[in-house]
């Protein structure tokens, strides 16, 4: 087998990984660089996807899927079933005239994406690929186990152990067993100043915040379903406040409710209300939690004199608000006084160590982190291979 990281070494995001066996060639993720990323590494996805048998997307964050339009049309793109639908709703919103970042051509391409299901192995030539559902700040995210030429490679995608699904990962990976190569993300190893709390700790803290504040605005990613679930459950535990969002967010939550209800009640968002003006008085009287984003619709509520004594919770990466990675729209939108309550979508050093000790790789290839040598500091008893972007590695 041969592994080539086209991009993703010594940078967070922009991931493109190629894996070849004797008779098959696939790509895992075709991501764009994160905004304001310093990386100078350019990848011509049209070129590298040529003669590929398939492209597999670990999850719908743009640093893993953003270059999908560059993939050669004859090459099938695979993604999780729910991930495909949520990404479609998200991209349709990006098509709205006020945003106009994508066109109908994008939506048509997404329609052609094939889907896979957790644990169902797909055969591509002499290669076997098994998607393993894991926990991340994107819903329906996967690791991939690739087997060919008598070797086993585990690509982690982005993952964490400290969310609702994370608790199950050790058991799932024990079933996977030992691997030859672990291609492993290590985002948090360079974000050492980040306070790392679990999703459950966040939910607990949110209950008190909601209890103590009548009007609560929450800013988090519209596609971070586990985060929305944390605030939704915190709100229910805190009392009788309304839980409100806009039509776009409601469409995503309705889809998640519909497709998960058979298995769990945890993602049942059926009493989340999409704002239609009718219950404005109710909002004033009962109080509310409202999911907001940096747009005019949200701004009207955040700035309204009716909700003057509100609490604004900022629940996503601080890098969007501060420093060189700051996003201008977000900086303008978030009030000066905000409450920071966030749980990372990425595994802590402890989580990464745990995964390594379960699958006991012969070799670890660090990706999706600022500096691959951060991995050495974990002092794990496994060989760490510091690859260069675009350099082929034979196993
Ligand atoms: Zn990522
Ligand atoms: Zn991600």
Question: Looking at the structure, do residues 58 and 148 belong to the same domain, yes or no?
Answer: yes
Question: Looking at the structure, do residues 13 and 130 belong to the same domain, yes or no?
Answer: yes
Question: Looking at the structure, do residues 228 and 89 belong to the same domain, yes or no?
Answer: no
How far is the centre of ligand 2, averaged over its atoms, from the C-alpha of 269 (Å)?
Answer: 23
The domain of 285 spans 199-340
How far is the centre of ligand 2, averaged over its atoms, from the C-alpha of 273 (Å)?
Answer: 28
Taking a C-beta distance cutoff of 8 angstroms, is the pair 7, 389 a contact? yes
Question: Looking at the structure, do residues 334 and 210 belong to the same domain, yes or no?
Answer: yes
3-state class (DSSP) for residue 386: coil
Question: Looking at the structure, do residues 245 and 383 belong to the same domain, yes or no?
Answer: no
Question: Looking at the structure, do residues 174 and 322 belong to the same domain, yes or no?
Answer: no
The residue among 327, 381, 391, 372 whose CA lies nearest residue 183 is: 372
Instruction: Supply the CATH number for residue 321's domain.
Output: 3.40.50
Question: Looking at the structure, do residues 378 and 332 belong to the same domain, yes or no?
Answer: no
Task: Report residue 245 as tokens.
Answer: 């969002």
Predicted structure pTM score: 0.96
pLDDT of 325 higher than 90: no
Domain end among 325, 340, 355: 340
pLDDT of 294 higher than 70: yes
Question: Looking at the structure, do residues 57 and 172 belong to the same domain, yes or no?
Answer: yes
What per-residue confidence (pLDDT) applies to 48?
97
pLDDT digits (tens, 9 = 90+) for 230-269: 999 999 999 989 999 999 999 999 999 999 999 999 999 9
Give the number of whichever ligand sits closest to the CA of residue 221. 2
Query: How many domains does the chain contain in total?
Result: 2
Buried b (16+ CB within 10 A) or exposed e, 84-120: bbbbbbbbbbeeeeeeeebeeebeebbeebeebeeee
Confidence of residue 195 (pLDDT cuts 50, 70, 90): low
3-state class (DSSP) for residue 23: coil
Give me the residue label for tokens 């991501």.
31
Task: Report residue 7 as tokens.
Answer: 């991009």
Question: Looking at the structure, do residues 125 and 241 belong to the same domain, yes or no?
Answer: no
What per-residue confidence (pLDDT) applies to 307?
96
User: What 8-state DSSP symbol labels residue 210?
Assistant: H
How far is the centre of ligand 2, averaged over its atoms, from the C-alpha of 247 (Å)?
Answer: 24
Instruction: Supply the CATH number for residue 100's domain.
Output: 3.60.15.10
How far is the centre of ligand 2, averaged over its atoms, from the C-alpha of 378 (Å)?
Answer: 22
**CB-based neighbours (< 5 A) of ligand 2, an ion:** 61, 158
How large is the C-alpha radius of gyration of the chain? 21
pLDDT digits (tens, 9 = 90+) for 54-89: 999 999 999 999 999 999 999 999 999 999 999 999
How far is the centre of ligand 2, averaged over its atoms, from the C-alpha of 121 (Å)?
Answer: 23
Question: Looking at the structure, do residues 252 and 142 belong to the same domain, yes or no?
Answer: no
Give the number of whichever ligand sits closest to the CA of residue 64. 1
Q: Distance between CA atoms of 365 and 320, rounded to whole angstroms? A: 28
pLDDT of 301 higher than 70: yes
How far is the centre of ligand 1, averaged over its atoms, from the C-alpha of 38 (Å)?
Answer: 15
Q: Distance between CA atoms of 344 and 348, rounded to whole angstroms? A: 9
């Amino acid at each position: 087998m041969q592994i080539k990281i086209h991009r993703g070494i010594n940078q967070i995001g922009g991931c493109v990984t190629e894996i070849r066996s004797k008779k098959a060639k696939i790509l895992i993720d075709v991501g764009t660089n994160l905004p304001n990323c310093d990386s100078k590494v350019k990848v011509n996805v049209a070129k590298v996807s040529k003669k590929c048998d398939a492209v597999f997307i670990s999850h719908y964050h743009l640093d893993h899927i953003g270059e999908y339009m560059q993939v050669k049309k004859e090459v099938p793109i695979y993604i999780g079933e729910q991930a495909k639908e949520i990404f479609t709703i998200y991209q349709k919103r990006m098509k709205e005239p006020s945003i106009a970042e994508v066109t109908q051509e994008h939506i048509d391409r997404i329609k052609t994406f094939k889907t896979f299901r957790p644990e169902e192995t797909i055969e591509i030539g002499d290669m076997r690929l098994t998607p393993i559902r894991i926990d991340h700040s994107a819903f329906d995210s996967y690791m991939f186990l690739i087997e060919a030429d008598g070797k086993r490679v585990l690509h982690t995608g982005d993952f964490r152990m400290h969310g609702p699904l994370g608790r199950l990962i050790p058991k799932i990976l024990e079933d996977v067993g030992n691997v030859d190569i672990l291609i492993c993300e290590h985002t948090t190893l360079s974000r050492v100043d980040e306070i790392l709390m679990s999703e459950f700790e966040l939910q607990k803290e949110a209950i008190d915040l909601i209890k103590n504040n009548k009007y609560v605005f929450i800013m988090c990613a519209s596609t971070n379903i586990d985060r929305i679930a944390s605030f939704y459950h915190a709100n229910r535990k805190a009392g009788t406040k309304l839980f409100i969002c806009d039509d776009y967010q409601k469409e995503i939550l309705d889809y998640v409710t519909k497709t998960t209800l058979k298995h769990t009640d945890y993602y049942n968002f059926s009493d989340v209300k999409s704002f239609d003006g009718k219950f404005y008085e109710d909002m004033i009287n009962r109080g509310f939690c409202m999911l907001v984003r940096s747009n005019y619709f949200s701004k009207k509520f955040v700035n309204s004199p009716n909700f003057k004594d509100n609490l604004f919770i900022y629940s996503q990466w601080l890098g969007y608000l501060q420093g060189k990675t700051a996003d201008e729209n977000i900086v303008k939108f978030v009030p000066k006084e905000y409450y920071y309550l966030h749980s990372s979508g990425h595994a802590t050093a402890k989580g990464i160590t745990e995964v390594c000790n379960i699958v006991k790789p012969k070799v670890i290839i660090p990706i999706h982190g600022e500096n691959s040598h951060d991995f050495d500091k974990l002092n794990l008893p496994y060989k760490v291979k510091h690859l260069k972007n675009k350099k082929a590695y034979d196993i």
